[in-house]
Amino acid sequence: MKLFFLNALITLTIVASSVFSQTTKPVPTPPQTDDDTVKISTSLIQIDVTVTDKNGKIVSDLKPDEIEIYENGKKQELSNFSFISNLKTPNETLAAKPDNIAAPIPPKPLRPEQVRRTIALVVDDLTLSFESTHFVRMALKKFVDEQMRDGDFVAIVRTGGGIGALQQFTTDRRQLYAAIEKLRWNPIGSGKIGAFAPIEATPLERMKATGGEVSDEQLEAEKRSIQGLNDFRGDVFATGTLGALDYIVRGMRNLPGRKSVMLLSDGFKLFTKDESGFMDSTRVLQSLRRLIDLANRASVVVYTMDARGLQTLGATAADDTSSLSAEQIESRLTDRRNELFDTQDGLVYLARQTGGLAIVNNNDLSGGIGRMIGDQSYYLIGYQPDDETFDPKTRRYNKLEIKVNRPGTRVRYRSGFFGISDEETEKQNLNLTAGQRMTNALTSPFAVNDIALRLNALFGSGQQGAFIRSFLHINAQDLKFTDQPDNTKKAVFDIAAVSFGDTGVPIDQVSNAYEISVKKDQYDEFLKSGFVYDFTFPIKKAGAYQLRVALLDKTTDKVGAANQFIEVPDLKKERLTLSGIVLENMSLAEWQAAASETAPNKSKTSPLSDTALRQFNRGTVLNYSSEIYNAKLDAAKQPNLTSQMRLFRDGVLFFEGKQQKVPANQANQKAYSFSGSLNLGTAMKPGDYVLQIVITDNLAKEKRKISTQFVQFELIN
């Protein structure tokens, strides 16, 4: 029987994926229109403008003659004007909060046109104090539980987490919960235990207080040295924060929906002093200017929030003033106030220059996130620039000013842009070497779609321990094949794959060069079906992983990339765990023949390709198979397991199968295989579906008796 082959495939070659893993289809670059994107080209300057009343509410009824736009002080004539609303719709609802006992509803897959808001919640653990980190975690959990809505595409990112911490944008609340659980205070960052370092005497001040001979000049030099060192350290971490934001904004450029970055930070200074007492702003301001220009071009609004909340700025119980004079204590308190205001200036400047909000001196972090989430409606206005706009001899930077001729309104907009058009920027990107483009694609948390790739990574456990086996489907039509003397066609390409842990450190990697030769009489069929590349990484430790894969066509230098987040369970905890789902698609006739014990097996199906690509036709049969780990056994050393299949479309339960007993007569009591079939009827509508498997262990405790796994697939015709 064909189903026996599927069981054998699981047992011998495939395995399983985490209960919390999500197979996310790479988001293709959507077609851009003048209605929903910011353009900076030689023929059109287009920016988004937020207008609110004195209470902070969006003003949505402005007329074109009420808005004026100035470039470098010169008034411009509007060429287009529209209002883009992202306010809550009457039918919009919060998705159900996951239940750890009942079988959860799988996340609803989103197509690019269905994305309303793309939100990157950036946790600046390079600056957050231990205290701030706690409150940020609480605010993020409340956002996921209460503020995240249908159509939101969300990522939770740490600035100090490295590449592995840059999670995928997702709709899966469980994946976001996993990212929140990884948030910790970063002891190597500039953040302290509390909002400020305790006030205490320096070594020379203690020496003078005990009668030592210390001059005022020595005390001043020591103070400048300590301040200069602290400022330099803060300067370095601020640059790291801005570099991480630059990386995130660059990756968001082609993502759909209203794009927002929300930075939760303890702030950074725009200006610092060196040990000689001179002001220095070069490092931070240069990074800020690059980031602001990039955000303006990518149509990403940056919101900032001071995670320290409202501070009293007076003396605290942690301060030790025993060796300090009254004048010295007042000087330290002044320094504390200046530190707060100076670090808030960086947050305010970044938000204002990109059209966002800066929320400071507010203890309600959840309310602050709510304000940023609600600030998602804007006017899109544009004008035609003159020749001087992009003339480097005339000006390098173009300053914008927006005026609204209605009393009581407040306006926020992007401050300006460098005199380089998007077309010129794209030309600069094309000048990168093929190796540089592949490295950028491999380290980016976002898909690159010059070559269509579909990745499905699955967790498994065998005699050699735990592993992740990944299946990469490659669209052969995107590769360049050349004619060969032996009457074949050949494609040459490189593939590189890297797994990152949640600390951002690469865990494992593979890199190979390949040549594929296809006979001409098989060429058309090969292009139609594509092919699968699979690789395996051993896993020594349970936890969250990022899988990144990049492919380079050596003939055309085109690059494709895909990535996937996967949570590897710890089987040693003996919790019921369901493996990933292996798929096999066949015609009804093939399925009927396979069900016959006497019928010969003539099926031409490909479980590897079906599991990787996950695109099927109506009127066919979808076989699914998986394994169950850590099932409880009764006195007779037998499990008591039942399985149930559920099918979802657009987040709504479409079909629910009957519960069936899982066969227990298997030699391997560590992993129980099961399989089933689903008829993809001709009446089903094309689109994205989610197949969910629910396993119930009737011998386990109530909170541990259910395990689920799901896989997304597409019905194409």
Q: Is the pLDDT of residue 1 over 80?
A: no
Same domain, 180 and 250: yes
In whole angstroms, what is the distance from residue 183 CA to residue 161 CA?
9
Same domain, 319 and 208: yes
pLDDT tens per residue across span 238-249? 888 888 888 888
Higher per-residue pLDDT: 519 or 89? 519
In whole angstroms, what is the distance from residue 121 CA to residue 136 CA?
11
Instruction: Collapse the DSSP code of 519 into the 3-class scheme (helix H, G, I; strand E, B; otherwise coil) and give the result.
Output: strand
Same domain, 601 and 499: no
Confidence at residue 95, expressed as pLDDT on a 0 to 100 scale: 47
The boundaries of the domain holding residue 385 are 45-85+378-420
Same domain, 514 and 442: yes
For residue 708, give the amino acid letter. Answer: T
Of 623, 620, 616, 534, the residue nearest 583 (C-alpha):
623
Confidence at residue 663, expressed as pLDDT on a 0 to 100 scale: 82
Q: Is residue 365 part of a domain?
A: no
Q: What percent of the chain has pLDDT over 90?
A: 15
Q: Is residue 101 part of a domain?
A: no
DSSP state letter for 91: T
CA of 558: how far to CAs of 109, 305, 424, 479, 681, in Å? 28, 40, 19, 8, 38
Which positions ≥6 away from 426 have C-beta within 8 Å?
A: none
Same domain, 159 and 304: yes
Higher per-residue pLDDT: 671 or 114? 671
Higher per-residue pLDDT: 431 or 513? 513
Same domain, 560 and 580: no
Compute CA 319 distance to the chain's CA centroid, rounded to the nearest angstrom: 40
Rounded mean pLDDT, 25-39: 38
Alpha helices in 375-519 (DSSP H): 422-430, 434-443
What is the sign of the dihedral through the CA atoms of 83, 84, 90 and 94?
negative
In whole angstroms, what is the distance from residue 601 CA to residue 593 CA?
8
User: Do residues 434 and 412 make contact, with C-beta atoms less than 8 angstroms apart?
Assistant: no
In whole angstroms, what is the distance from residue 132 CA to residue 490 CA?
57
Total structural domains within the chain: 4
Confidence at residue 42, expressed as pLDDT on a 0 to 100 scale: 56
Confidence at residue 21, expressed as pLDDT on a 0 to 100 scale: 28
| CATH value at residue 385 | 2.60.40
Q: What percent of the chain has pLDDT over 70?
A: 81
Q: How buried is residue 652: exposed, middle or buried, by Cβ count under 10 Å (0-12/13-18/19+)?
A: exposed
In whole angstroms, what is the distance from residue 479 CA to residue 558 CA?
8
Q: Is residue 29 part of a domain?
A: no
Question: 535, 568, 601 — which closes off a domain?
Answer: 568
Confidence at residue 338, expressed as pLDDT on a 0 to 100 scale: 85
Same domain, 163 and 243: yes
DSSP string, 643-697: EEEEEEETTEEEEEPPPEEPP---S-SSEEEEEEEEEE-TTSPSEEEEEEEEEEE
Rounded mean pLDDT, 595-601: 59
pLDDT band at 696 (very low <50, low <70, confident <90, very high): very high
Confidence at residue 620, expressed as pLDDT on a 0 to 100 scale: 92
Considering 22-31, 135-144, 246-255, 412-421, the range whose residues carry the highest mean pLDDT is 135-144
Confidence at residue 275, expressed as pLDDT on a 0 to 100 scale: 56
Question: 360, 390, 410 — which closes off a domain?
Answer: 360
Q: Is residue 105 part of a domain?
A: no
Confidence at residue 83, expressed as pLDDT on a 0 to 100 scale: 85
In whole angstroms, what is the distance from residue 645 CA to residue 675 CA?
10
Compute CA 225 distance to the chain's CA centroid, rounded to the nearest angstrom: 40
pLDDT tens per residue across span 139-167? 999 999 888 887 788 888 888 765 554 45
This prediction's pTM: 0.68
- Dump strand ranges (E) for 353-421: 358-359, 378-383, 397-404, 410-413, 416-418
pLDDT tens per residue across span 334-393? 888 888 888 889 899 999 888 888 999 988 888 888 888 878 788 888 888 877 666 666
Higher per-residue pLDDT: 84 or 262? 262
Same domain, 331 and 466: no
Measure CA of the first residue to CA of the last residue in the chain; give whole Å: 28
Angle in degrees, CA 64, 65, 71, rounded to 5: 85
Q: Residues 691-709, buried b or exposed e (16+ Cβ, 10 A)? A: bbbbbbbeebeeebbbbbb
Beta bridge partners of 416: 399
| CATH value at residue 307 | 3.40.50
- Given the structure tokens 């002891």, which residue do they identify? 187
Same domain, 393 and 461: no
User: Do residues 586 and 2 make contact, with C-beta atoms less than 8 angstroms apart?
Assistant: yes
Which positions ≥6 away from 500 have C-beta within 8 Å?
A: 162, 163, 164, 506, 507, 545, 546, 548
Rounded mean pLDDT, 62-86: 86
Here the tokens at position 557 are 């230098």
> How, if at all, do strands 652-656 and 706-715 pair?
unpaired
pLDDT band at 11 (very low <50, low <70, confident <90, very high): very low
pLDDT tens per residue across span 121-144? 999 888 888 888 889 999 999 999
DSSP state letter for 405: -
pLDDT band at 447 (very low <50, low <70, confident <90, very high): low
In whole angstroms, what is the distance from residue 148 CA to residue 139 CA?
12
CA of 462: how far to CAs of 117, 468, 671, in Å? 41, 11, 10
Question: 568, 587, 602 — which closes off a domain?
Answer: 568
pLDDT tens per residue across span 258-314? 788 999 998 888 877 655 556 666 678 888 888 888 888 778 889 999 988 888 777
Q: Is residue 94 part of a domain?
A: no
In whole angstroms, what is the distance from residue 269 CA to residue 308 CA?
15
Q: Is residue 462 part of a domain?
A: yes
Same domain, 291 and 405: no
Higher per-residue pLDDT: 386 or 4? 386
Q: Is residue 592 part of a domain?
A: yes
Backbone torsion region of residue 542, taken as left when φ is above 0, otherwise alpha when ψ lies between -120 and 50, otherwise beta = beta
Long-range contacts of 508-517 (CB under 8 A, 24+ apart): 508/537, 508/538, 510/535, 513/554, 515/490, 515/491, 516/479, 516/490, 516/491, 517/484, 517/486, 517/488, 517/489, 517/490
Q: Is residue 314 part of a domain?
A: yes
Same domain, 238 and 183: yes
Considering 108-117, 427-436, 697-706, the range whose residues carry the highest mean pLDDT is 697-706
Confidence at residue 691, expressed as pLDDT on a 0 to 100 scale: 92
| CATH value at residue 469 | 2.60.40.10
In whole angstroms, what is the distance from residue 579 CA to residue 693 CA?
10
Same domain, 593 and 715: yes
In whole angstroms, what is the distance from residue 210 CA to residue 324 CA?
11
